[in-house]
């Protein structure tokens, strides 16, 4: 398809004020995970206003807008999806914000407020990028565009897409994630999982602690081993070989190159709990949560075994239980969709058709260098094609289901979960233009075998 890139950029620029208005409207509705009802209504109204052919809300509360070529969104049409999670984290300490996080302000350059970069800005650009495709007749023949405002990502990344694939029975040909990408095209990320370690003890009066078995002391040994697992090197003489070992072909022969691209895995103790009869007693149980980031070559089974094989865990034997958390929190609709807290690693090849569609569109629209907002000029030195540091819905889209996924989104990763969050108006406009240009460049008739380079593997619950 021959595209008029200047026309696309002009069309996106024409929606600059609409993008800003719509984003500020979304920000005005607090929308932490499971509490997205008001922002869903806001998005529904905007989709209907701009002329989406169909707008629906599924059982989990995801909002889905459909746009077809000349209004045709029949069941025989293939699907290209653009995903934006519309939930946010909380605001933390209000004193760290200089302005109201849900009222905020805008200048000529930026929009301020919770969700500006992470990641309601992506929804604004996706919605108006799709409208540009409809305005300029750019939707590929035989396809329909699916714009998803997904819920509960901050609580349980990818749960929303488990529901879309397994319950809604929708499987797009490929998906663009609009998570913030610092002006780059992102083709992968490390995975993660949430591990729990429980230790048993025996309580007694604190005046004679030798009569009991202090679970906190046992856990202290385990915590030291967890720290060593993250910090140690991987030389043969090291008792607890550190997670950097996955970057070494000796320990990760099949996936070490992918691991080097994504970066090494990490682990850290993120929470600690205990029980004790009183402050004058020995603790009779202790538990910790471990945030585990996984690189290529690691799965939930290998990560659980790694903790079970730590010297302190083995030392305390049957008094220690290592498990994976489950997630079963009700959505804003009341629906409960239980899943394990495992979020697989994934990478798309740089040569894959869906990745090339975005990079080629970027080069045609803006050149082969990242465009960095004011104050972020250092970003221009990073490669155009890169990866996320944090986790996204790609953990399900590609990590679980192998649906090709690639990312480009307005805003900055550094703004995610931070006080005084902002995004840049220029980013919103550029993202809308790129979505409108990239999808027509996807080779709809060409079936390639290299869409997938690495996905983290199956889990035991929701792979159907």
Catalytic residues: 87, 153
Q: How far is it, in rounded angstroms, from Cα 23 to Cα 120?
A: 7
Which is it for the CA torsion 441, 445, 448, 453, positive or negative?
positive
Going along 276-324, which residue ranges are E strands? 285-294, 320-324
**Nearest Cα residue to 405 out of 459, 360, 442, 354:** 354
Measured CA to CA, the distance from residue 295 to residue 262 in angstroms comes to 6
DSSP code for 449: S
User: CB under 8 Å to 182, separation ≥6 — which residues?
Assistant: 370, 372, 376, 379, 382, 412, 413, 414
> Cα–Cα distances in Å, from 18 out to 13, 46, 49, 127, 174?
10, 10, 12, 11, 27
Are 369 and 184 in contact by the 8 Å Cβ rule? The answer is: no
Neighbour-count burial for 374-402, b at 16+ CB within 10 Å, e otherwise: eebeebeeeebbbbbeebbbbbbbbbbbe
User: Is there a contact between 458 and 400 (Cβ–Cβ < 8 Å)?
Assistant: yes
User: Cβ of 304: how many Cβ atoms within 10 Å?
Assistant: 17
């Amino acid at each position: 398809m021959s595209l008029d890139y200047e026309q696309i950029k002009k069309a996106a620029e024409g929606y600059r004020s609409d993008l800003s208005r719509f984003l500020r409207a979304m920000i005005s509705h607090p929308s932490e995970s499971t509490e997205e009802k008001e922002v869903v209504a806001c998005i529904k109204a905007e989709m209907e206003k701009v002329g989406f052919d169909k707008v629906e809300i599924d059982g989990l509360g995801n909002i889905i807008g459909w746009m077809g070529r000349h209004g045709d969104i029949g069941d025989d049409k293939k699907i290209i999806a653009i995903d934006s999670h519309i939930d946010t984290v909380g605001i933390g300490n209000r004193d760290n914000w200089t302005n109201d996080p849900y009222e905020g302000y805008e200048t000529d350059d930026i929009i301020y407020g919770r969700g500006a970069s992470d990641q309601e800005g992506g929804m604004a650009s996706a919605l108006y990028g799709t409208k540009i495709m409809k305005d300029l007749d750019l939707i590929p023949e035989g396809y329909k565009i699916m714009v998803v405002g997904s819920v509960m990502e901050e609580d349980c990344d990818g749960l929303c897409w488990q529901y879309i694939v397994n319950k809604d029975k929708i499987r797009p040909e490929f998906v663009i994630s609009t998570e913030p990408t610092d002006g780059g095209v992102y083709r992968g990320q490390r995975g993660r999982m949430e591990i729990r370690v429980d230790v048993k003890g025996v309580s007694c009066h604190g005046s004679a602690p030798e009569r009991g078995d202090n679970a906190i002391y046992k856990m202290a040994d385990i915590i030291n081993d967890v720290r060593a697992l993250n910090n140690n090197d991987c030389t043969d003489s090291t008792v607890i070989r550190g997670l950097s070992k996955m970057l070494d072909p000796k320990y990760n022969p099949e996936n070490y190159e992918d691991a080097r691209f994504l970066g090494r895995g990490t682990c850290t103790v993120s929470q600690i709990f205990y029980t004790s009869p009183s402050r004058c007693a020995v603790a009779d149980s202790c538990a910790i949560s471990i945030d585990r980031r996984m690189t290529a070559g690691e799965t939930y089974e290998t990560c659980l075994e790694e903790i079970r094989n730590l010297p302190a865990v083995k030392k305390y034997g049957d008094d220690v239980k290592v498990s994976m958390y489950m997630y079963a929190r009700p959505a804003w609709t009341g629906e409960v969709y239980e899943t394990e807290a495992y979020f697989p690693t994934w990478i798309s090849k740089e040569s894959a058709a869906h990745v090339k569609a975005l990079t080629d569109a970027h080069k045609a629209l803006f050149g082969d260098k990242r465009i960095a907002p004011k104050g972020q000029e250092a970003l221009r030195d990073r490669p155009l094609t890169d990866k996320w540091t944090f986790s996204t819905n790609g953990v399900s889209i590609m990590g679980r289901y192998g649906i090709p996924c690639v990312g480009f989104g307005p805003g900055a990763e550094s703004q995610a979960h931070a006080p005084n969050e902002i995004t840049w108006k220029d980013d919103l406009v550029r993202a809308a233009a790129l979505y409108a240009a990239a999808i027509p460049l996807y080779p709809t008739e060409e079936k390639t075998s290299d869409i997938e380079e690495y996905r983290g593997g199956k889990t035991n619950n929701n792979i159907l």
